[in-house]
Structure 1
């Protein structure tokens, strides 16, 4: 990928950013042809052959920048959701804590919409693989479509099943678990996780966190157990009036991390 020489083509996906209001952003394919906003219609075909970053006007004179979308943009705007995703402020921390890198084999349970699955796949690609279980058939089909749309079909093996029958294809270099009662599966998880390997869970309530912590500690098979949350505050980018945004992306989930040991 070369930001200097690559041109926008009829197959390109672009992020349109409103010049007057940068918070208004639209992830759209050039193949759409025409795109309508509150401020008029935009002829996307005018961008073909132009550089990413080119400005274009709607028929009412509103200016937009056509930039190359990042993976963040694709995750936040480019996939369909039926479940709450793991937000980037959390998924980024989890990915770093798990030490995800090219070539790893990672297990996930609770695929949901496939957002976190794709983030893991992006980290272990091109040679790594994510094995993921989703018990709900509707979520399973949605996740498959989202994963394919994001281009990770070769790096993800998704199964419509639960953890009750154990975890196949072990051992794993790392695990990510997003299910309602993970403490019920600690034995399966421990058996399938590689020695000394890290695992991360996400849970929505403190009661669930407490039950998981009790299970992890009582098993005597995990160490370096941590509980965390991340808070993200944006600032208004106005030099003369720099101050926090009126709204803050605060608590979204509890993250629980641990490492496997042989007791």
Structure 2
């Protein structure tokens, strides 16, 4: 792995409390915590994995941030994001890999957009529609801050149609997706997987009825994911006192039929 440069964004993790971590730009020069100030310029040329101390002696581990770190710590939010426990499962269901073309509707804060872009990089592309101007601007900012250049976000309502077609997969995060099944179906290649996220069972029921009545979708599934962390004490291994359980419902399907 390359040495740390002054252009890098790094992850600073408290050596004594690893759950306390920060995304920091080396170019900021200094970073202040309640345990003292850290001289970031001293890290230029050093290797990742090194340990640096604040002026009060508190130790921090310097790590390259993963897409998980960037999503959880670096995304400016005005909307609920798709949590990593859900987005990871969705990425596997969609079968995303380098070179694929993905359609997204409902960019929101751009967190899931970035996850999709990461999965199909460097040669794939994500085309995203967002009708709310605030979220359109926010998602553009967040995706750009992540460094992804394989994303095209349009300020557009899916109800006006989708300009492109032949997409390899789709991810939909809008309030009433059943209203746009015809538009989405026209944009997807036959056999392409699609995933929807919705917060309520009533919405899932409406979408299920629409997909089944359309006769254009097969292998329809509904799921939710649960993730529980454990305390890393070998002598007393047990679950953490709190967990993020239900976050969203995920509906998945495959498009079938004639192009």
The answer for unaligned runs of 5 or more in structure 1 is: none
Equivalences for residues 68-147 of structure 1 within 5 A: 68-147=64-143
Indicate the residue corresponding to 1:235 in structure 2.
Answer: 230
> How big is the shift at 1:128?
1.0
Indicate the residue corresponding to 1:170 in structure 2.
Answer: 165
Out of 11, 15, 26, the residue aligned to residue 7 of structure 2 is 11
Confirm whether residue 185 of structure 1 aligns to residue 180 of structure 2. yes
How many equivalent pairs are there? 258
Indicate the residue corresponding to 1:42 in structure 2.
Answer: 38
Q: Deviations over 1:177-199 (max 9, x none)?
A: 00000001111111111111111
> How big is the shift at 1:131?
0.8
Out of 236, 245, 250, the residue aligned to residue 245 of structure 2 is 250
Distance 2:24 2:142 in 1: 15
Confirm whether residue 56 of structure 1 aligns to residue 52 of structure 2. yes
> How big is the shift at 1:220?
1.3
TM-score (normalizing by structure 1): 0.96
Q: Deviations over 1:75-121 (max 9, x none)?
A: 11112111111111101110110111111111100000111111111
Distance 1:103 1:49 in 2: 33
> How big is the shift at 1:241?
1.1
TM-score (normalizing by structure 2): 0.97
The answer for unaligned runs of 5 or more in structure 2 is: none
Distance 1:211 1:80 in 2: 31
Q: Deviations over 1:37-74 (max 9, x none)?
A: 11111111121221111111111111111111111111
Out of 199, 204, 211, the residue aligned to residue 216 of structure 1 is 211
Distance 1:184 1:61 in 2: 58
> How big is the shift at 1:23?
0.8
Compute the RMSD of aligned alpha carbons.
Answer: 1.0
Indicate the residue corresponding to 2:26 in structure 1.
Answer: 30
Distance 2:208 2:17 in 1: 45
Distance 1:19 1:262 in 2: 55
Distance 1:212 1:84 in 2: 21
Q: Deviations over 1:206-253 (max 9, x none)?
A: 110111011111111111000000000000011111110011111111
